[in-house]
Amino acid sequence: MKWNDNIIDSLDWGKDIARRAEKEKVANRIAAMVEDNMTLGVGSGSTSYLALVKIAERVKQERLKIRAITTSLEIAMACARLEIPTAGLESGRPDWTFDGADEIDPNKHLIKGRGGAMFKEKLLINASPKTFILADHSKMVKRLGENFPVPVEVFPQALTYVANALQQELRPRCIKLRMAEGKDGPLITENGNLILDVWFDYIPAGTERAIKQITGVIESGLFMGYDIEVFLNS
Ligand code: 5RP
């Protein structure tokens, strides 16, 4: 039974979407690949959101039955508003996943996590037989770390330990605790953790594993060597 007044219905993306036209083109491309009865892994960020909107249009027009496994609350709420049913990984694997990225290098290594959702994004990508990364030209870089830090989600009590270990073992240019917008103090992730934004001048092979090995690290936004296909509007 539906709510009479549902606050979710008043939600949109909420901010201006940069390079919206370019993002909508790749969104259309991924929406065209959806088939009846599919379970989709749905990434986070504005590009994934636009793709979800396009998918919802097809679902309505063609009366498709699909399910979404979401990577963030923002996308779960968008699914509720767009009337796309959601499920968890316990009910099955996605047929495929789509997601955005902050940076993509020539080897298809990624930085993700501007939106702070990299833990569930990595979970979905690992759980999916196939992942499509939707990008606009601003995301393509020669070297990872050009424009974005590597976000590292950290168990709160381990914050100083992890920051020290990252500095000693990986020698980044700088490490910043990500602060919240709309709340005083640090940003708290959906999993109740903190985020360290780690700026590197150079990210060698093995960095993702080296970060993950530090006790207290939940996950990083570095994706090196994943089996992904990049959809770039050209
Ligand atoms: C969120 C992400 C996003 O996919 C990434 O930040 C890209 O966002 P946008 O599509 O808004 O540019 O990793 O954690």
DSSP for 101-157, please give it.
Answer: -SEE-TT--EE--TTS-HHHHHHHHHH-S-EEEEE-GGGB-SSTTSS--EEEEE-GG
- The ligand 1 atom at the shortest distance from the C-alpha of residue 113 is 14
Residue 100: count of CB within 10 angstroms of its CB: 26
Q: How far is the CA of 51 from the centre of ligand 1 (A)?
A: 12
- pLDDT tens sequence across 44-87: 999 999 999 999 999 999 999 999 999 999 999 999 999 999 99
Verify that 43 and 128 share a domain, yes or no.
Answer: yes
Single out the residue of 160, 110, 162 nearest to residue 139, CA to CA.
110
State how beta strands 96-99 and 39-42 pair.
Answer: parallel
Q: How far is the CA of 4 from the centre of ligand 1 (A)?
A: 32
**Cβ-proximal residues to 94 (8 Å cutoff; 6+ apart), any chain:** 39, 40, 41, 69, 124, 127, 128
Rounded CA gap, 67 and 86, in Å? 5
Confirm whether 195 is domain-assigned: yes
Residue 234: its pLDDT value, please?
A: 60
Q: Which of 12, 19, 25, 46 to mutate to test the pocket of ligand 1 (most atoms within 8 A of CB)?
A: 46
Verify that 20 and 45 share a domain, yes or no.
Answer: yes
Cα 30–chain centre separation: 16
- The per-residue pLDDT of the chain, averaged, comes to 96
Residue nearest to atom 8 of ligand 1 (CA): 45
Q: How far is the CA of 116 from the centre of ligand 1 (A)?
A: 9
Residue nearest to atom 2 of ligand 1 (CA): 113
Q: Which residues does ligand 1 sit against, CB inside 6 Å?
A: 43-48, 99-102, 112-118, 121
Q: How many domains does the chain have?
A: 2
Verify that 13 and 37 share a domain, yes or no.
Answer: yes
Rounded CA gap, 35 and 11, in Å? 27
Confirm whether 70 is domain-assigned: yes
The arithmetic mean of pLDDT across residues 22-30, rounded, is 96
- The ligand 1 atom at the shortest distance from the C-alpha of residue 114 is 6
Rounded CA gap, 202 and 196, in Å? 17
Q: Is the pTM of this model over 0.85?
A: yes
Q: How far is the CA of 2 from the centre of ligand 1 (A)?
A: 31
Residue 192: count of CB within 10 angstroms of its CB: 9
Q: Which residue has the tokens 């549902």?
A: 6
Confirm whether 2 is domain-assigned: no
* Catalytic center residues: 121
Helical pair 73-82 and 46-62, crossing angle rounded to 10 deg: 20
Verify that 130 and 196 share a domain, yes or no.
Answer: no
Single out the residue of 132, 103, 121 nearest to residue 190, CA to CA.
121
Confirm whether 82 is domain-assigned: yes
Helix (H, G, I), strand (E, B) or coil at 217: strand
- pLDDT tens sequence across 77-114: 999 999 999 999 999 999 999 999 999 999 999 999 99
Q: How far is the CA of 48 from the centre of ligand 1 (A)?
A: 8
The arithmetic mean of pLDDT across residues 31-40, rounded, is 98
Residue 159's domain comprises 150-221
Confirm whether 105 is domain-assigned: yes
- The ligand 1 atom at the shortest distance from the C-alpha of residue 49 is 10
Confirm whether 1 is domain-assigned: no
Confirm whether 113 is domain-assigned: yes
